[in-house]
């Protein structure tokens, strides 16, 4: 293999959430419930020893069931969730595709483009030059002078995606952003992600849509209960993941059938 430049190194990462349990935990053993009282601190291990290296020009899909630690891993990669052990190293701070938080609903789309672009670290001049491109991508030409709060949720999502991806990110994390918008917009946003990757960027795509993952990522990471199940070419990993899901469904169905027979 040719020498590729690593941009993100995740080294034996553990993330533990300490939460005040506001109710009583459901215990497996019956009868212990009465002994519990008051607010206890529970430690939830969201990630348990995840390691991988991501290289330049890679787009990596991240899949797994709900609660498997996908979003925790992404948040730990941006440095927002502190690791309990291990570390994340990166050539520059990974960005979540989340410019939406900087925007103000009462302002026009036009002003929000300026604000979002500046929040991403562009200069005002750069934003003004790119403004037209953003409007075109979001297909909001006729509405760009209206307050953003009057946009439909699909229009808002398009605008946010268009602003967020206008900058050439070195490391971009897309967490379930492609599920919004219509089919045509999804196709164009997947193209945009491939473009970012081809311009020496690294993209992480978290999605439950195996089609999006197949179409945009050549490598996929499968997380299960905070552990790395598999890391490899998308086709193999997605196939194994889907097999395990349908197997899981099958196994559950069998159990139910067995229980019915017993009754």
Partner 1 sequence: MSLADVASTHGLKRVGARPPLGSYLREAWRRREFIVALAQYRLRASLEGNRLGVLWLVLQPTLNALIYGTIFYFIQRGDDPVQFAAHVVIGVFLFQFFQRSMTQGARSITGNQSLVQSLAFPRITLPVAEVMEELISLLPSIAVLFVILPFLGHWPSLSWLLMVPLLILFTLFNTGIALITARLTVHVRDLAQLLPFIGRLLFYSSGVLFDVNKIFDRYPAVLQLYDFVPIYQVLQMARAALLGGHSYDPMYWLYFSAWSVLTFVVGLLFFWVAEERYGRD
Q: Which ranges constitute the DSSP H helices of 39-182?
A: 70-77, 109-119, 124-138, 153-164
Q: Interface with partner 1 includes 82 (CB under 8 A)?
A: yes
Which of 114, 180, 229, 230 is close enough to bind partner 1 by CB under 8 A? 114
Q: Interface with partner 1 includes 75 (CB under 8 A)?
A: yes
Query: Nearer to partner 1 by C-beta: 41 or 259?
Result: 41
Query: Nearer to partner 1 by C-beta: 202 or 207?
Result: 202
Give the tokens for residue 15: 């993330």
Q: Interface with partner 1 includes 129 (CB under 8 A)?
A: no
Pairing state of beta strands 59-63 and 202-206? parallel
Q: What is the 3-state secondary structure (H, E, C) of 125-139?
A: HHHHHHHHHHHHHHC
Q: Interface with partner 1 includes 165 (CB under 8 A)?
A: no
On whether the CB atoms of residues 87 and 11 are closer than 8 A, the answer is: yes
Longest dimension (CA), the chain: 73
SS3 content of the chain, % helix, strand, coil (to 5): 40, 25, 30
b/e map 14-26, b = 16+ CB within 10 Å: bbbeeeeeeeeee
**One symbol per residue from 1 to 40: x for binding partner 1 (CB under 8 A), - otherwise; what is it?**
----xxxxxxxx----------------------------
CA distance 119 to 172: 15
CB of 80 to partner 1, least distance (A): 5
Query: Nearer to partner 1 by C-beta: 16 or 244?
Result: 16
CB of 197 to partner 1, least distance (A): 19
Q: Which of the ranges 39-47, 90-98, 215-223, 233-241 carries the binding residues for partner 1, by CB under 8 A?
A: 90-98
Which of 15, 96, 177, 217 is close enough to bind partner 1 by CB under 8 A? 96
CA distance 185 to 216: 14
Nearest CA to 50 among 204, 178, 224?
224
Which of 65, 107, 180, 230 is close enough to bind partner 1 by CB under 8 A? 107
Which of 102, 180, 210, 229 is close enough to bind partner 1 by CB under 8 A? 102
Tell me how many residues contact partner 1 (CB under 8 A).
Answer: 45
Give the tokens for residue 192: 């945009």
Which of 59, 71, 72, 81 is close enough to bind partner 1 by CB under 8 A? 81
Which of 47, 77, 130, 237 is close enough to bind partner 1 by CB under 8 A? 77
CB of 69 to partner 1, least distance (A): 16
Integer angstrom CA distances of residue 148 from 1, 108, 176: 48, 5, 21
Q: Interface with partner 1 includes 203 (CB under 8 A)?
A: no
3-class DSSP assignment, residue 105: coil
Q: Which residues bind partner 1 (CB under 8 A)?
A: 5-12, 51, 53, 75, 77-82, 87-91, 93-96, 98-102, 104-107, 111, 114-115, 118-121, 123-124, 147
């Amino acid at each position: 293999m040719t020498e590729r430049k690593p941009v993100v190194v995740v080294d034996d990462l553990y993330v533990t959430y300490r939460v005040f349990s506001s109710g009583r935990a459901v215990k497996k053993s019956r009868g212990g419930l009465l002994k519990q009282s008051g607010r206890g601190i529970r430690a939830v291990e969201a990630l348990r020893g995840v390691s991988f290296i991501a290289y330049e020009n890679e787009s990596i899909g991240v899949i797994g069931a709900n609660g498997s630690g996908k979003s925790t891993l992404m948040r730990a990669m941006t440095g927002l969730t502190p690791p309990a052990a291990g570390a994340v190293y990166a050539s520059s701070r990974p960005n979540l595709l989340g410019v939406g938080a900087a925007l103000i609903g009462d302002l026009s789309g036009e002003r929000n483009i300026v604000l979002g672009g500046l929040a991403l670290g562009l200069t005002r001049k750069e934003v003004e030059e790119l403004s037209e491109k953003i409007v075109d991508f979001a297909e909001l030409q006729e509405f760009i002078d209206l307050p953003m709060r009057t946009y439909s949720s699909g229009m808002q999502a398009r605008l946010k995606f268009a602003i967020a991806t206008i900058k050439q990110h070195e490391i971009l994390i897309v967490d379930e952003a492609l599920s919004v918008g219509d089919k045509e917009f999804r196709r164009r946003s997947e193209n945009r992600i491939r473009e970012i990757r081809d311009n020496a960027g690294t993209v992480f795509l978290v999605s439950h849509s195996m089609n999006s993952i197949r179409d945009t990522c050549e490598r996929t990471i499968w997380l299960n209960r905070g552990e790395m199940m598999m890391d490899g070419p998308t086709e193999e990993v997605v196939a194994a993941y889907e097999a395990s899901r349908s197997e899981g469904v099958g196994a559950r169905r069998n159990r139910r059938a067995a229980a019915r027979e017993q009754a």
